[in-house]
Amino acid sequence: MTTWNNLFPKIHFHPILLLFIMISFLTGTFVELFILFSIVLFHELGHYLMAVKFNWRIRKIMLWIFGGVMDTEEHGTRPIYEEMLVICAGPFQHLILQFIIVIVSEAHLFSQSILDLLFYYNTVIFLFNLLPIFPLDGGKLLQLFMSKYIPYKKSYYFTVFFSMVVCLLLIILQLTVFSFTLSTFFLFIFLFMENRMEWKRRTYAFIRFLLKRYEKRNKFRKRTSQIQVMASDSLMDVFSNFYRERNHTIYIKYPNHTTQVLHESVCLHHFFSKKSYIQTIGEVADKMK
């Protein structure tokens, strides 16, 4: 059921947006900023409407100059196809807006200079959001694609680290090769800091992923994978091999060459309910004998 909060989510404005508003007043580019902000709203509307369609729980929408972030607990807990539709719904809005611009241009309802700005910024924001930088749509799609073929933790950690590297590379190019613009420089600094913060809380994000599995909210998992681990491995080492949309059968190898089999639900139960944070998978298995 769609909740009241989902119908009317809280909208927050990131401090960097306020910084750009100040810059626009100082540089006389307030009209350009208003056009950018309107396109960003239209972009986020696509994410929001698709998320509501799938009954996602949405805490808030954070808006900044070249995009926004829909704060939800559902990333990593929903089917891959569902997340892909929610992510792609944002860029799809730009195609709709491009079509509207063409229709309005043919009808001569607005000045051509305004329509040219709309066309230009709509194209720029569309392409910008496809950059492989988290939390841009391109970065999310990269992580989503990788999580289909490698364990969730590796895909998530790689995406955040890769995003920081790309941001640093673009900052260096901005200072040495491309023509320098203050707004672009601040933008990539902001994205780098966002990913740096995401990197610091990467363990929390992974624990949240595991907790959703433990709560059995991933009812869509149909595929089963086998994981081979040593008895001396910690539970977190075992969890690091978990894939999205799969159940896991864990084969534990002991030094005496014997093997014991556990299901992932047993390991998650010991970790979250019995708080076996420092126990090895072998110690957990021994308790089950």
CA distances from 156 to 6, 106, 140, 225 (A): 26, 45, 9, 19
* Pair 210, 242: CB distance under 8 Å: yes
* Pair 11, 61: CB distance under 8 Å: yes
Residue from 44, 74, 198, 264 carrying the catalytic annotation? 44
Return the number of other C-beta atoms located less than 10 Å from residue 91's C-beta: 19
Q: Is 44 a catalytic residue?
A: yes
Instruction: Name, in order, each residue with C-beta under 8 angstroms of 107's C-beta and a sequence gap of 6 or more.
Output: none
Q: Is 63 left (phi over 0), alpha (psi -120 to 50) or beta?
A: beta
Quote the CA–CA distance of 272 and 210 in Å, as a whole number. 9
Instruction: Name, in order, each residue with C-beta under 8 angstroms of 102's C-beta and a sequence gap of 6 or more.
Output: none
User: Is the bond preceding residue 135 a cis peptide, omega within 30 degrees?
Assistant: yes
| Catalytic residue annotation | 44
